């Protein structure tokens, strides 16, 4: 074959590919199909549920085609931020609500206030709506639509509860509801016979930071005061962290944080009776049991609210917010808003993936009530302490993580660790404030801005 | 004349692919990062970079996280360089003494270096896993308590060093072996006839003649070690308590986690100066030895 023939064939091949690549749906229907890219971090079983929801949307909306990109949360924000800044980012994406202020500061979020009709406003708690609002007292600017909340609760091994005699008169198990019952069950579980030579523990450390966040509201802790000044060394926070430290050091109901079995792994292996974790971990337990062919060896568990260990009830949660990138064309924005509204309306299906829907009507449905863990965790919705709203949330979380680690590993005391975290975080905020001043704009919320980067296509 | 001009023109054409890549991916980032180091540039705002003079540098020098990362980097360098050199010399001596199977052993030692760091990191994560890992399983068989390979502040860094040695020592040993094979055998034979024992021959002949190779390796490996990033990111993410977060990871966290590109660029230039200083000292040492 001569070089000329080869080049001609190559040219024809490229042209053919180009023709095939062209959107033929538009030609067939006579309408232009809006393509939306949707990014999220649902890389677990929840991603499969989301994919099914998207397929349904695509079937019901032939003029819009959504494609989903799942990226592990560990690198998700990095990729999202860099691509969005360059105008190559997805049209629709999921943000953990704590990340909203930062993305707003970068000017990457479209105003979704008009998505909130009367139905939505009646169905989503004002607290959750307020977390989406970056406007002024007289003008709302809602930058996300909350799809769910993911409160942390307690997973309990039912067989161990029975073994230690924590049973109601009607024969059902009685999970711990307060401090006294929590310790009673944990201490009794410690006395259960070893499994395959391994010791049984009453409770186990999960993600240390999240364990801390979970306990903070119970001890009346807070991260910033009403004026936005950091209070990481608040006495309530110190008490919560001290309690966490004491679970191993003083009460000896938890495996050593360094060198001992992890709480979640231990719970899966039936070596830990109780573990605090998020509702999203349900998918992991379901998969564990699905992969176990022997019914006798399946993990027998339930989810319950966090027992009231401190002076009041409380737990940690954040929520997944559906967001639309700023600077899209009108057609894209309209399609994106229709898509996120669809996902919100379908949040019962989403609950099946191991989430607590933001929509009250869904939480009150009989189908949702039959979802044991999700429903039990949702009972804490009124006692949730959400993460603070600040563009510097990542720095706050890093400083807290270091403090919690220092205290749990020792020898730093809880008070000293949190004091240092507070000083470091204050220093960071001060530097951030100075940098923003250099730019000539005081940060946090610039309510007048309606468009961000990446001009309209 | 015309042929000479054409040849010169062709030289530039041949250089073009590499030259373009060099300009785009080395020279341009080099200049941009230098400019950024003197600017405040926060990706999470909509403002362009703003000149701030030496502020990023002075901030870095008073930042405890920077100094902690510098300390971690030095600790890593102090662990990895001597162990790597000693180990690869021993392995090379062993291979050099082998009559049969030298090539097979060399290939086997070299094999880990052919894995990408991502594969190596994931593999060793499993080796080090406290519950299900290979190492603790083996320790359990001989009734030694499990070791918190990656969750102990004291052990995490040696664990990273161990993995890096497994990954890199084969390549270094192959270089030293080549150096050993360049030493004329007559010198060793003459020394043996004169009554020098193997130990004396190693100290008086082999090691001095290997010095240029070893010094070259020390320089190159030190430059690489100062840039330690992937191992710690994959195994410990810089933890526990930032005990394994080196300067490059701090740069990454600052520039691509915190989106402070100016400050990140300033730290990367400080690291560059550090490496350049060390390399200069080491090169002078080499020149002295070569002379």
Residues of B in contact with A409 (CB under 8 A): 153, 240-241
Query: How close does chain B come to A257, measured CA to CA in Å?
Result: 9
Give tens-digit pLDDT for B207-218: 888 888 888 888
Contact A74, A286 (CB under 8 A): no
Mean pLDDT of chain B: 89
The residues, any chain, with a CB within 8 Å of residue B129's CB and separated by 6 or more, are B136
Contact A403, A241 (CB under 8 A): yes
Relative to beta strand A201-204, strand A272-278 is parallel
The residues, any chain, with a CB within 8 Å of residue A115's CB and separated by 6 or more, are A142, A145, A337, A340, A341
Q: Of B243, B65, B245, give the one whose Cα is nearest residue B155.
A: B243
What is the reported pLDDT for B109? 87
User: How far apart, in whole angstroms, are the C-alpha atoms of residue B284 and residue B215?
Assistant: 11
Report which of residues B291 and A433 the model is more confident about.
Answer: A433
Closest residue to A406, CB basis, from B146, B151, B241: B241
Contact A234, A215 (CB under 8 A): no
What is the reported pLDDT for A235? 96
Relative to beta strand A320-324, strand A145-146 is antiparallel
What burial letters (b/e) apply to A50-67, b meaning 16+ CB within 10 Å? Answer: beebbeebeeebeebbbe
What is the reported pLDDT for A1? 59
> Exposed, middle or buried, B99 (CB in 10 Å: 0-12/13-18/19+)?
exposed
The residues, any chain, with a CB within 8 Å of residue B219's CB and separated by 6 or more, are B279, B282, B283, B286
What is the reported pLDDT for A457? 37
Query: How close does chain B come to A31, measured CA to CA in Å?
Result: 36
Minimal Cα distance from B261: which residue of A? Answer: A82
Q: Of A124, A154, A457, A106, give the one whose Cα is nearest residue A321.
A: A124
Contact A189, A160 (CB under 8 A): yes
User: What would the mean pLDDT of B63-77 be, rounded to a whole number?
Assistant: 93
Residue to test with chain B: of A248, A393, A404, A439, most B Cβ within 10 A: A439
CB pairs under 8 A between A and B: 63
For chain A, state the CA radius of gyration: 25
User: How far apart, in whole angstroms, are the C-alpha atoms of residue B127 and residue B122?
Assistant: 9
Closest residue to A402, CB basis, from B59, B241, B256: B241
What is the reported pLDDT for A29? 54
Q: Of A20, A438, A406, give the one whose Cα is nearest residue A232.
A: A406
pLDDT category, B256, cuts 50, 70, 90?
Answer: confident
The residues, any chain, with a CB within 8 Å of residue B199's CB and separated by 6 or more, are none
pLDDT at B285 over 90: no
- Contact criterion met (CB < 8 Å) for A402 and B47: no
Residues of A in contact with B148 (CB under 8 A): 258-259
Cross-strand pairs, A39: A69, A93
What is the reported pLDDT for A189? 95
What is the reported pLDDT for A454? 40
Query: How close does chain B come to A148, measured CA to CA in Å?
Result: 26
Contact A145, A95 (CB under 8 A): no
Query: How close does chain B come to A431, measured CA to CA in Å?
Result: 10
What is the reported pLDDT for A446? 36
Closest residue to B44, CB basis, from A105, A402, A409: A105
- Contact criterion met (CB < 8 Å) for A438 and B153: no
CA B153 vs. chain centroid, Å, equals 22
Strands (E), A245-375: 272-278, 301-304, 315-316, 320-324, 356-357
- Per-residue model confidence as pLDDT tens for chain A (457 residues): 566 676 677 777 767 766 555 544 444 455 689 999 999 999 888 899 999 999 999 999 999 999 999 999 888 998 998 888 878 889 999 999 999 999 998 889 999 999 999 999 999 999 999 999 999 888 999 999 999 999 999 999 999 999 999 999 998 999 999 999 999 999 999 999 987 778 899 999 999 999 999 999 999 999 998 888 999 999 999 999 999 999 999 999 999 887 777 889 899 999 999 999 999 999 999 999 999 899 889 999 999 999 999 999 999 999 999 999 998 999 999 999 999 999 999 999 999 988 999 999 999 999 999 999 999 999 999 999 999 988 889 889 999 999 999 999 888 999 999 999 999 999 988 888 887 777 665 544 333 333 334 433 3
For chain B, state the CA radius of gyration: 24
User: How far apart, in whole angstroms, are the C-alpha atoms of residue A230 and residue B275?
Assistant: 38
Backbone angles phi, psi at A343, to 5 degrees: -60, -40
User: How far apart, in whole angstroms, are the C-alpha atoms of residue B220 and residue B232?
Assistant: 20
What is the reported pLDDT for A261? 77
Contact A112, A82 (CB under 8 A): no
What is the reported pLDDT for A418? 96
């Amino acid at each position: 074959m001569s070089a000329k023939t080869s080049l001609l064939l190559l040219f024809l091949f490229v042209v053919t590919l180009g023709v095939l690549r062209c959107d033929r749906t538009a030609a067939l229907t006579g309408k232009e199909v809006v393509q939306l890219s949707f990014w999220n971090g649902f890389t677990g079983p929840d991603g499969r549920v989301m994919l099914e929801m998207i397929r349904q949307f695509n079937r019901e909306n032939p003029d819009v085609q959504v494609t989903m990109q799942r990226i592990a949360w560990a690198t998700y924000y990095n990729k999202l931020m860099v691509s969005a800044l360059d105008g190559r980012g997805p049209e629709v994406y999921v943000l953990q609500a704590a990340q909203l202020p930062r993305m707003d500061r970068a000017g990457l979020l479209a105003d979704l206030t008009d998505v909130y009709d009367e139905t939505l406003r009646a169905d989503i708690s004002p607290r959750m709506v307020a977390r989406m609002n970056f406007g002024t007292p007289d003008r709302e600017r809602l930058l996300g639509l909350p799809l769910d909340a993911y409160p942390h609760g307690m997973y309990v091994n039912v067989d161990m509860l029975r073994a230690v005699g924590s049973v109601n008169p009607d024969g059902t198990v009685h999970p711990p509801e307060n401090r006294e019952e929590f310790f009673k069950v944990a201490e009794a579980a410690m006395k259960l016979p070893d499994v395959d030579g391994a010791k049984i523990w009453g409770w186990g450390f999960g993600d240390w930071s999240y364990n801390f966040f979970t306990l903070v509201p119970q001890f009346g802790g807070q991260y910033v005061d009403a004026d936005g000044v950091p209070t990481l060394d608040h006495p309530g926070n110190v008490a919560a962290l001290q309690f966490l430290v004491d679970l191993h050091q003083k009460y000896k109901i938890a495996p050593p944080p360094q060198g001992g079995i992890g709480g979640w792994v231990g719970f899966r292996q039936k070596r830990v009776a109780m573990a605090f974790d998020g509702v999203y971990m349900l998918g992991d337990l379901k998969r564990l049991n699905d992969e176990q062919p022997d019914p006798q060896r399946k993990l027998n568990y339930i989810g319950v609210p966090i027992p009231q260990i401190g002076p009041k009830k409380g737990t940690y949660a954040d929520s997944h917010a559906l967001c639309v990138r700023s600077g899209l064309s009108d057609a894209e924005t309209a399609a994106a808003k229709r898509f996120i509204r669809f996902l919100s309306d379908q949040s019962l299906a989403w609950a099946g993936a191991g989430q607590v829907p933001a929509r009250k009507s869904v939480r009150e449905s009989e189908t949702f009530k039959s979802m044991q863990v999700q429903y039990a965790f949702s009972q804490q919705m009124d006692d949730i302490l959400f993460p603070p709203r600040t563009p510097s949330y990542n720095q706050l979380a890093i400083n807290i993580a270091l403090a919690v680690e220092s205290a749990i590993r020792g020898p730093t005391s809880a008070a000293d660790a949190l004091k240092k975290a507070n000083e470091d975080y204050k220093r960071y905020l001060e530097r951030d404030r100075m940098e923003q001043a250099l730019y000539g704009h005081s940060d946090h919320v610039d309510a007048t801005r309606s468009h961000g980067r990446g001009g309209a296509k | 004349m015309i042929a000479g001009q054409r040849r010169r023109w062709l030289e530039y054409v041949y250089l073009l692919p590499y030259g373009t890549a060099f300009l785009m991916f080395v020279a341009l980032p080099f200049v941009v990062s230098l400019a950024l180091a003197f600017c405040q540039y926060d990706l999470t705002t909509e403002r362009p970079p703003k000149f701030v003079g030496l502020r990023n540098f002075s901030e870095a020098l008073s930042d405890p996280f920077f100094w902690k990362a510098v300390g971690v980097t030095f600790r890593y360098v102090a662990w990895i360089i001597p162990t790597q050199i000693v180990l690869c010399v021993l392995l090379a001596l062993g291979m050099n003494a082998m009559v049969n199977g030298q090539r097979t052993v060399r290939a086997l030692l070299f094999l880990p270096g052919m894995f990408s760091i991502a594969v190596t990191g994931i593999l060793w994560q499993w080796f080090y896993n406290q519950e299900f890992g290979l190492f603790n399983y083996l320790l359990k068989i001989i009734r030694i308590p499990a070791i918190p390979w990656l969750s102990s502040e004291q052990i995490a860094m040696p664990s990273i060093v161990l993995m890096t040695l497994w990954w890199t020592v084969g390549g270094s040993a192959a270089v030293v072996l080549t150096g050993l094979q360049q030493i004329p055998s007559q010198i060793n034979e003459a020394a043996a006839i004169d009554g020098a024992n193997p130990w004396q021959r190693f100290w008086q002949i082999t090691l001095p003649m290997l010095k240029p190779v070893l010094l070259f390796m020390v320089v190159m490996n030190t430059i690489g070690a100062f840039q330690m990033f992937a191992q710690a990111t994959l195994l410990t993410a810089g933890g526990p308590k930032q005990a394994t977060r080196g300067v490059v990871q701090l740069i990454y966290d600052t520039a691509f986690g915190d989106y402070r590109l100016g400050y990140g660029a300033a730290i990367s230039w400080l690291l560059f100066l550090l490496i350049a200083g060390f390399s200069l000292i080491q090169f002078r040492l080499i020149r002295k030895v070569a002379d």
